[in-house]
Structure 1
Amino acid sequence: MMKSVEKQGRTVEEAIEAALKELNASREDVEIEVLDEGSKGVLGIIGSQQARVRVTLKQKPPIILKEVLKGIVERMGASVTVEEPVEKEGAFYINMSGEDAGLVIGRNGSTLDAIQLLVSEIVRKRSNSSVLIWVDADRYREKRWEQVKRMALDAMRRAKLERREIRLYNLTPAERRIVHLTLQNNSDIVTYSEGEEPNRVLVVAPVDLGSRKKGRKKQDRRKQPKGESEEE
């Protein structure tokens, strides 16, 4: 539940400052509603009326995330515990645990993907911010991420040793992002994606081979009609 206070002051600004002090917040953290701008009255004394404002703390994405996810799994009737969100891999990560973890994961993570999509949309709208959300159950995604990271490092070693492009198939967009992040600091390797969903492929290549290939892709894109684009 959002916390808000109403304050009065000789001016709107004075009332706002009083509210911010009570909430121990800055202006960036709150929403301000002016309920009454007040009036000075006659000679600044007779009939004067104080300004009045309502200041509400904005909900932070992690708070909204946990609240929304708990509501969804309760409606599903799933017996799971929603843990506290943490920041991980540039996103807010939240895990669920309990006897019904398998139910919220679904076949090949399909139910978990659907929950994550729904939760992400709600959190973005309610927090008015573009945040990346990872919803997990029984550390299903976390275990998969570790596999993907090992796969990325192995592909990098093979690309360097064999001096050729290594293609990684059957990765979700989120898993491709993990490969990019895992290898992004290796200056002698490039990563990029080819093809269209659901058959999109991630390529790991030595920088000289990969740069030439990406250069050809950019030339091809310049020949495409306006409005068409391809993800790197």
Structure 2
Amino acid sequence: MTETEQETVQAAPDLAALEQESEIAADYVEGLLDIADIDGDIDMDVEGDRAIVSVVDVRGSDLVGPNGEVLEALQELTRLAVHRRTGTRSRLMLDVGGFRERKRAELTKLGTKIAAEVKRTGRPRSLQPMTPFERKIIHDAVAAAGLHSESEGEEPNRYVVVMPV
């Protein structure tokens, strides 16, 4: 096997490990829902190199909170539960009621709009502080528009700056 082939094999996600992560996470989230007496179904998936667990058919926004703050906290707790069982750091993504998908669409639109503005004016543009999830979506949208962006600042006030070409 050539060195390039070995790198490709190493770079491929371990599907069995990701499925195990999603099962552990789903069990953990289901336990939290039971404790909180919240009805909801759980979907598990693997997308790229991360496990995704979604709570669907849930009413209300208590599990999301203002600007997704409760969801971020639940995701971190779920990642810790997975880490505790597997011994490896998890990049698991938790979604509740489609919040992240709606947020992804909204931020992709914003990133595309800001990129067009920066192309037009030739001046860099800073955005408000965002979570790592939100910044990644902006970076992807800006890159798709052919521009460069960087994250600056320290958590929790880290933000994206879109640069002209």
TM-score by length of 2: 0.78
Is 1:199 matched with 2:165?
A: no
1:127 alignment counterpart: 86
- Give RMSD over aligned pairs: 2.6
Structure 1 portions without partners, runs of 5+ = 1-27, 31-56, 208-232
| Matched-pair identity in % | 23
1:68 alignment counterpart: 28
CA distance in structure 2 between the partners assigned to 1:205 and 1:148 by the alignment: 17
Query: CA distance change for structure 1 residues 114 and 99 in 2, over 3 Å: closer, same or farther?
Result: same
The residue type equivalent to 1:117 in the other structure is E
The residue type equivalent to 1:116 in the other structure is Q
| Higher radius of gyration, 1 or 2 | 1
Is 1:190 matched with 2:158?
A: no
TM-score by length of 1: 0.57
How many residue pairs get matched? 151
Given the alignment, which residue of 110, 113, 116 partners 1:151? Answer: 110
CA distance in structure 2 between the partners assigned to 1:116 and 1:93 by the alignment: 10
Instruction: Tell me the secondary structure at the aligned position of residue 90 of structure 2.
Output: coil
Name the structure where helix makes up a greater proportion of residues. Answer: 2
Structure 2 portions without partners, runs of 5+ = 1-13
- How far the C-alpha of 1:115 sits from its partner, in A, is 1.0
CA distance in structure 2 between the partners assigned to 1:110 and 1:125 by the alignment: 23
CA distance in structure 1 between the partners assigned to 2:82 and 2:25 by the alignment: 6
Instruction: Tell me the secondary structure at the aligned position of residue 203 of structure 1.
Output: strand
The residue type equivalent to 1:112 in the other structure is L
**Residues 150 and 162, structure 2, Cα contact 8 Å, conserved in 1:** yes
Instruction: Tell me the secondary structure at the aligned position of residue 115 of structure 1.
Output: helix
1:133-163: CA deviation from partner (whole Å, max 9, x where unpaired): 2211110121011111111111111111111
The residue type equivalent to 1:202 in the other structure is V
Instruction: Tell me the secondary structure at the aligned position of residue 105 of structure 1.
Output: coil
Instruction: Tell me the secondary structure at the aligned position of residue 60 of structure 1.
Output: helix
1:161 alignment counterpart: 120
